[in-house]
Amino acid sequence: MKTFNVFIILFFIHQFIILGQEPHSNDYAIILKTGENNVETQQQKYLYKDRNVPIEDRIDHLLGLMTLDEKIKQMNQWTYGKNANPNNIGDKMKEVSPLIGSLLYRSTHPEYRNQIQKKAMTESRLGIPIIFGFDAIHGYRTVFPIPLAQACSWNTDLVKESCKIAAKEGWLSGLDWTFSPMLDVARDARWGRVSEGYGEDVYANSQFAIAAVKGYQGEDLADKYTIAACLKHYVGYSLSEGGRDYRYSDVSMQTLWETFLPPFQAGIKAGAATVMSGFNDITGVPASANHYTLTEVLKDQWQHDGFVISDWGSIRNLVDQGVAKDRKEAGLKSFLAGIEMDMVDDVYIDHLPELVAEGKLSMSAIDDAVRRIIRVKMKLGLFENPYVDVVPEDKRYLLPEYLKVAEELASESMVLLKNDNKTLPITSKYKQLAIIGPMVKDSVHIMGFWEGMGRSQDVETIYEGLEKEFGNEVALNFAAGCDFEGEDRSGFKEALETAEKSDIVLIFLGEKRNWSGENGSRSSIALPKIQEDLVLELLKAKKPIVLILSSGRPLELIRLNRWADAIIEIWQPGTAAGSAVAGILSGRHNPSGKLSMTFPQTTGQIPMYYNMRKPARPNLGHYQDIPRDPLYWFGHGLSYSSFDYGPIKLSKSEISKTDTLIAEVEVTNAGTRDGKETVLWYIRDPIANISRPMKELQYFEKKYIRAGETIKYSFEIDPLRDLSYLDSRGNVHLESGDFYILVNDQKVKFEIINR
């Protein structure tokens, strides 16, 4: 009798809760204690909030409680637009629905994030936390070099560390999620977005993808200071026709599998929580409506259990691309293809309810999409810890250890392209340095595009770096010479006089930040004529000429290369630009960067990348008016030391498909300075059923070698991993026969035998 009474009481309490809310199918929502009718207190007791319950059970429970409207709002990302003014955000905050799934958070204020989150936690019926996302692409407040430069460091540990710092600064400002890394393998330098990725090689992109994901996400996404990564732009975006942004990309299935998918697959394997679909039209089926790539490959084959977000407007763009007649059809196509979250467009909010009502979308499909979003939120620990810590800015940003990493990564990214007659480093024989060019005192463009929340006032300019580096020992004779573009030559005279009274002429040229990055395409990758003319003018001083180039892409240097004694590509190094550049010039940093992207002779030579297919007639077909090779190949980069490579030694010359083979090479630092050397190991498969590139990078390793020291590098070759190739459906093929391993200018043959 007593048991029966307790049961009745529990039943009524249960009904009271259920009736007080939207209807739901699942009666997991049993209140554990009686007498508490405060909604929030009751919600705390819900199973989906219990971190000790397995995540999938928690999601089942929550989905059972959610209305369709609540589900669809989870699939929406809201944005404030571009206005990050804190006062406006304060006002705007009132407009944010407590039900939204995500917010594109363009503010450095953790307090606002916490207030908005509090609305979601307390003013919504189920208290589902919002996930706050932002583009921290190469740093948050501490700006690191652009990713294209980072790849030239070949230092995955440093790249991982930079992502970890970005995550920490970002998390302490209110972020849970960054739209990074970008993994679009880049082979057309006219496309401005080459600056955002890791260059032209598939393996390099894959390795830096892993480093970035691990750096952002740490060991456990639920830990403090970790944020979710987002692999983008899935997929094939960098083939945008002619390097113009947002264009059609003709991606064959072979190229898709061989070139574009592998870095994404590596990032997924490393645990990336989310993926962003691209704007591009992949051979007739846009990336944001592509069921094959988004569902069949990503979810079915690779078993990704996180979610996909569209790029900014890429759902509504399906109408512009001509595959949907209106926003509603665009929403239907994107959703069915496999996009769970709608960035900015509000297409899902506006149209998914009617699409469900019309029976065009099933509730189970909606549930699967929402499950993926909730899963990421649960993995981030947002249900338990929805708020971020609020600490003062000086404890949050630009800490000395962050700046140290920024300087190290920037200096390791810089590539010494040319150094005739050992013009560099600047030795004590030079007492008067001419410091000329539009980049010298710049603190804006040197951060590059997507500078996160970086501020120009925090940037150490090149001039400041040089002053600190050289102190009173040498005179720094400055003249701007000219602007980045235009025709004003009025500064040339002063620049020439400055060069004439100096012992060496350092000319700092480059690109403005928005000449690369999104919507930053250029028909020519040469620097504007005014900058080249400045160099021509300064040649009249007949002094050694050093060019220091800052750009978001490889440049056309066919003319400048002839005029300069030494050239350093410093890319867009970020906050620590000054110390890094000055350290390279003085020799405090021994250059160790090697190109992650080829520098063609001229723009017309594009596409030009190291792992092209073999031509039918190797000696014919070249452009008649320029040399056949590019100016600087992928992998090129000098040091102030010289590194001598011993012969490649193989543990065997024949292996079966299941054996492993060890390749070794000894490298001696034959210079007088300590330095770092990266060994790039390539494989060549000369004959295969599907033609193979001339060579393919399969491994790299960077090591520190003291002057005079010899160090062994080795590469353990696993045939299935390193010698196989993918066909146009992603099937792996490993063929027997001859292979070559290549390092520097050496190559050694070995054979896979059928056993």
By annotation, the residues acting in catalysis are: 311
* Nearer of residues 178 and 579 to ligand NOJ, judged by Cβ: 178
Q: Which of residues 153-192 bind ligand NOJ (CB under 6 A)?
A: 179
Window 117 to 136, contacts with ligand NOJ (CB under 6 A): 135
Q: Starting from the edge strand earliest in sequence, which strands make up the sheet with 274-277, in order?
A: 230-234, 274-277, 307-309
CB of 196 to ligand NOJ, least distance (A): 7
What's the closest the beta carbon of residue 387 comes to ligand NOJ, in angstroms?
A: 24
Q: Which residues have a Cβ under 8 Å from the Cβ of 477 and sit 6 or more positions away?
A: 432, 433, 434, 435, 498, 501, 502
- Give the interface size with ligand NOJ as a residue count (CB under 6 A): 6
Q: Which two tokens stand for residue 300?
A: 């079915």
Cα distances (Å, whole numbers) of residue 294 to 220, 235, 392: 25, 9, 41
Which residues is 738 bridged to in the sheet? 751
Mode of pairing for the β-strands spanning 177-178 and 131-134: parallel
323, exposed or middle or buried, with CB in 10 Å at 0-12, 13-18, 19+?
A: middle
The DSSP bridge partners found for residue 286 are 281
Phi, psi of 428 (to 5 degrees): -70, -5
User: Residue 8's CB: how many other CB atoms inside 10 A?
Assistant: 10
Least distance in Å: CB of 325 to ligand NOJ? 24
Q: Which residue has the tokens 């300590």?
A: 674
518 is an interface residue for ligand NOJ by CB under 6 A = yes
Residue from the set 140, 177, 191, 312 that interacts with ligand NOJ by CB under 6 A: 312
Would you say 162 or 317 has its CB closer to ligand NOJ? 317
Is residue 242 within 8 Å of 264, Cβ to Cβ? Answer: no
User: x/- binding map, residues 597-636, to ligand NOJ, per CB under 6 A?
Assistant: ----------------------------------------
Among residues 14 and 106, whose Cβ is nearest to ligand NOJ?
106
Residue 311 C-beta: closest distance to ligand NOJ, Å: 5
CB nearer ligand NOJ, residue 46 or residue 132: 132
Q: For the CB of residue 405, give the shortest distance to ligand NOJ in the complex, in Å.
A: 23
Q: Considering the complex, what minimum distance in angstroms separates the CB of residue 182 from ligand NOJ?
A: 7
CA 702, 708, 712 angle in degrees (round to 5)?
Answer: 40
Task: Tell me how far apart the alpha carbons of residues 152 and 134 are, in angstroms, rounded to a whole number.
Answer: 25
| Nearer CB in complex with ligand NOJ: 160/232 | 232
- Give the nearer residue to ligand NOJ in terms of CB position, either 133 or 578: 133
CA 139, CA 447: separation in Å to the nearest integer? 10
Q: How far, CA to CA in Å, does 726 sit from each of 263, 433, 562, 729?
A: 14, 54, 42, 8
Residue with tokens 């830990």: 223
Give the distance from CA 138 to its chain's centroid. 7
Q: Mask 229-268, x = binds ligand NOJ (CB under 6 A)?
A: ---x------------------------------------
- Our CB check for ligand NOJ shows the closer of 106 and 441 to be 106
Tokens of 68: 């369709």
Q: Are 587 and 439 in contact (CB under 8 A)?
A: no
Among left, alpha and beta (phi > 0; psi -120 to 50; other), residue 374 is alpha
Other CB atoms within a 10 A radius of the CB of residue 185 amount to 27
Nearest-10 crossing angle of helices 529-539, 492-500: 40
Q: List binders of ligand NOJ among 134-153 (CB under 6 A).
A: 135
**Which residues on adjacent β-strands are paired with residue 676?**
704
Smallest distance from the beta carbon of 181 to ligand NOJ, in angstroms?
11
Cβ closest to ligand NOJ, residue 308 vs residue 505: 308
Restricted to residues 340-359, the positions that interact with ligand NOJ (CB under 6 A) are none
Nearer to ligand NOJ, 282 or 549 (CB): 282
Pairwise CA distance, residues 70 & 127, whole Å: 11
Where is 714: in which H helix or E strand? strand 710-717
Answer yes or no whether residue 451 interacts with ligand NOJ by CB under 6 A.
Answer: no
Q: 47 is written with which tokens?
A: 């199973």
Q: What's the closest the beta carbon of residue 655 comes to ligand NOJ, in angstroms?
A: 43
Shortest distance in whole angstroms from residue 516 CB to ligand NOJ: 13
Q: Residue 544: CA atoms inside 13 Å, Cβ hemisphere, count?
A: 20
Say whether residue 722 binds ligand NOJ (CB under 6 A). no
- Residue 458, classified by CB atoms within 10 Å of its CB into exposed (0-12), middle (13-18) or buried (19+), is middle
Shortest reach from residue 345's CB to ligand NOJ, in Å: 12
566-569 and 415-419 beta bridge pairing: antiparallel
Instruction: Report the distance separating Cα 341 and Cα 311, nearest Å.
Output: 10
Q: Minimum Å distance from CB 177 to ligand NOJ?
A: 11
**d(Cα 599, Cα 560) in Å, to the nearest integer?**
13
* Choice between 316 and 418, CB closer to ligand NOJ: 316
Residue ranges in 51-110 that form contacts with ligand NOJ under rule CB under 6 A: none
Rounded distance between C-alpha atoms, residue 178 and residue 125, angstroms: 28
C-alpha span between 185 and 504 (Å, rounded)? 38
User: Dihedral of CA 696/701/707/711: which sign?
Assistant: negative
Confirm if 293 and 304 have CB atoms less than 8 A apart: no
User: Within 397-443, where are the H helices?
Assistant: 400-413
Q: How far is the CB of 179 from ligand NOJ (least distance, A)?
A: 3
**DSSP for residue 755:** -
Residue nearest to ligand NOJ (CB): 179
Q: Is 586 exposed, middle or buried (0-12, 13-18, 19+ CB in 10 A)?
A: middle
Cβ at position 371, least distance to ligand NOJ in Å: 24
Q: Where are the alpha helices (DSSP H) in 96-153?
A: 110-123, 147-153
Among 258, 281, 311, 451, binds ligand NOJ (CB under 6 A): 311
Positions that interact with ligand NOJ (CB under 6 A): 135, 179, 232, 311-312, 518
